[in-house]
Structure 1
Amino acid sequence: MTSESPQIHLVLGPPAAGKTTYARELAAHVGAILLDSDEVTERLIRAGLNLAGLDPDDRDSPAYKTAFREVVYETLFDLAKSHASRLPVVIAGPFTREGGEADWPGRLESRLGALPEFHYVWCHPDVRKERIKARGATRDLPKLADWENYVATCRESAPVFPHRWIDTSPNHSNSTSTGK
């Protein structure tokens, strides 16, 4: 173990903005372990939803959010904390509500033992819709079936705390830091 502060990067943004792709590249660049919310918890969520008699593809209903949202995030934070003392960690997930909470970075610093570097990944909703169609995941079908209502629930504004803005729109290679 080193006496250095753990290096933790948190990648957040709306579904299909390119969080996982960006997080994989970032993890490779900094030599980090990647903890993606979908990869880490997908099988357990599907099993839990099936056991509860709910749609295993649901990720947006109040029932899903009540039963799984906080547990998924806490699992990611537990894993990050247990690994960050040995190597850098990249956490990827939507963190929609948290992007609007000015005190979230401080709470995470207390929780993780280090202040994460935040990366907000975004692209236009029309691009995200096409990406969701292209990936063909059954868990995305409810989003596509009611796209206008779904996209209204996505956080389109930048986080209210300092972060790096990553725009993954086609023909747009922009990464900027903001000290909001």
Structure 2
Amino acid sequence: MTDIKPTLHLVCGKIAAGKSTLARELSIDPKVILINEDTWLSRLYPEEINTIPDYVRCSGRLRSIMEDHLQQLLQAGVSVVLDFPANTPDIRAWMLGIATRAKVENKLHYLDVSNDQCKERLHARNASGSHEFAPSDEEFDVITSYFVPPQKDEGLNIILHVQ
């Protein structure tokens, strides 16, 4: 993937929809940098994220730190794949604001995957121990209750990935 202009790539989808896998695929070009929220959170806040309010608090801190950095990378001509879940209108508005201030294109990659398929993938991922976080089915259900599919009127360039 070689972008003519720097682009902010965003990923949207439920837990275990394949966001991080797609993000890695999008970042194979040398002029593209991948920034993964789960990696940053697990290293900055080890043992601190045990509940949804913990996640909200810590991810908010991370977003406040990353905002100017992301804008500077984009303005320097580097495309960014932001592997943060773009799963609510507020988070997507924050992400769009970064692209807008940096004056770069945005692409929101929306993975439309069923709850059953996500849970099946989650079980396999949890069993393999390959991910920083291993939510239960109950946590999946609670977190998914906050998920809002992207809408065209949000100002994002949506690319639908149906699986």
- Residue aligning to 1:112: 102
Match of 1:165 among 151, 160, 163: 160
Relative to structure 1, the CA distance from residue 24 to residue 64 in structure 2 (aligned partners, 3 Å threshold; closer, same or farther) is closer
Give the alignment's TM-score, normalised by structure 2.
Answer: 0.73
Amino acid at match of 1:158: P
Q: Which runs of 5+ in 2 are unaligned?
A: none
1:90 alignment partner, SS class = strand
1:81 alignment partner, SS class = helix
* Higher RCO structure (Cα 8 Å, ≥6 apart): 2
Relative to structure 1, the CA distance from residue 89 to residue 150 in structure 2 (aligned partners, 3 Å threshold; closer, same or farther) is closer
Relative to structure 1, the CA distance from residue 112 to residue 82 in structure 2 (aligned partners, 3 Å threshold; closer, same or farther) is same
Q: Offset at 1:32?
A: 0.8
Amino acid at match of 1:153: Y
> CA offsets, 1:33-92, max 9 Å, x none?
111111233211225x1xxxxxx4x2x522431x21222233443332232214221111
**Aligned equivalents of 1:39 and 1:26: distance in 2?**
17
Relative to structure 1, the CA distance from residue 154 to residue 106 in structure 2 (aligned partners, 3 Å threshold; closer, same or farther) is closer
**Aligned equivalents of 1:154 and 1:106: distance in 2?**
18
Give structure 1 regions of 4+ aligned residues with deviation exceeding 6 angstroms: none
**Aligned equivalents of 2:141 and 2:103: distance in 1?**
39
8 Å contact 1:80–1:89 — kept in the other structure? yes
Identity across aligned pairs (percent)? Answer: 23
Relative to structure 1, the CA distance from residue 64 to residue 100 in structure 2 (aligned partners, 3 Å threshold; closer, same or farther) is closer
Structure with the greater alpha carbon radius of gyration: 1
Relative to structure 1, the CA distance from residue 20 to residue 146 in structure 2 (aligned partners, 3 Å threshold; closer, same or farther) is closer
- Residue aligning to 1:87: 78
1:46 alignment partner, SS class = coil
- Residue aligning to 1:139: 133
1:72 alignment partner, SS class = helix
